[in-house]
Chain A
């Protein structure tokens, strides 16, 4: 079935460690996104990518990095510079806005806890 796969679902990290969250899609979408969700704050955009080898910062990019080497993959690295990384991270993809409404399709999320 077509969809978005995020891994791992749960991840524990010690302070000072970098971690990488995986996101893979087989929907043939050009655009991919990373959001962070905290209780009571909704979803905040970290990074997005319109096309392979290109990405832009969202509203809260500090302490995060991404790459887009393949159309299907958009991994997110949470670096030690991120001051409060404990959160639920959601990856999404969409058709290029303009080819449709550009609704997002989401993965099941990755919950990161810093010990």
Chain B
């Protein structure tokens, strides 16, 4: 069975500083990896995905994520944080194929607070 760990419940960062939200995963075979953002009482918005190829993936709103196969990690990054980035961030994984390929498994989420 696949799983996702987001080791930090909350990340605080000053506006203008770089931010990192951590994610590690476990899955059989090759993974598809995703990051989503959620604002209060709203649905999840897709930020970016890793399929294959370049380990650095660029997404919406200036976010990017780095895939590291040896460390089974997919950390979300942004060079300069904005107050409007404050939200709940979810990492998700599903296997490339086979059993469970329809089941996207989510981490428990990391609350990002950007301090003015």
Q: Could you tell me which A residues sit within 8 Å of B by CB distance?
A: 4, 6, 31, 33, 35, 40-43, 45, 48, 50, 56, 58, 88, 90, 92, 97-98, 101-109, 111
CA distance A83 to B43 in the complex (A): 24
Tell me whether A48 and B46 are in contact (CB under 8 A): no
Question: What is the CB-to-nearest-CB distance from A38 to chain B, in angstroms, rounded to a whole number?
Answer: 10
Q: Does B44 contact A (CB under 8 A)?
A: yes
Q: Which residues of A contact B102 (CB under 8 A)?
A: 31, 48, 50, 56, 97, 102
Contact for B42 among A48, A92, A108, CB less than 8 A: A108
CA distance A111 to B40 in the complex (A): 12
CA distance A90 to B108 in the complex (A): 15
A4, A40, A56, A106 — which one has the most chain B CB atoms within 10 A of its CB? Answer: A106
Tell me whether B44 and A41 are in contact (CB under 8 A): no
Q: Does B51 contact A (CB under 8 A)?
A: yes
Tell me whether B108 and A111 are in contact (CB under 8 A): no
Tell me whether B43 and A103 are in contact (CB under 8 A): no
Tell me whether A106 and B44 are in contact (CB under 8 A): yes
Tell me whether B42 and A102 are in contact (CB under 8 A): no
Tell me whether A42 and B107 are in contact (CB under 8 A): yes
Question: What is the CB-to-nearest-CB distance from A108 to chain B, in angstroms, rounded to a whole number?
Answer: 5
Tell me whether B34 and A42 are in contact (CB under 8 A): no
Question: What is the CB-to-nearest-CB distance from A25 to chain B, in angstroms, rounded to a whole number?
Answer: 12
Q: Does B49 contact A (CB under 8 A)?
A: yes
Contact for A101 among B32, B105, B109, CB less than 8 A: B32
CA distance A50 to B102 in the complex (A): 8
Chain B positions 76 through 116: 1 when the CB is less than 8 Å from some CB of chain A, otherwise 0: 00000000000000100010010001111111110000000
- Within residues 39 to 92 of chain B, which ones have a CB less than 8 A from any CB in chain A? 41-46, 49, 51, 90
Contact for A102 among B32, B36, B45, B109, CB less than 8 A: B32
| CB-based nearest A residue for B95 | A97
A45, A92, A97 — which one has the most chain B CB atoms within 10 A of its CB? Answer: A97
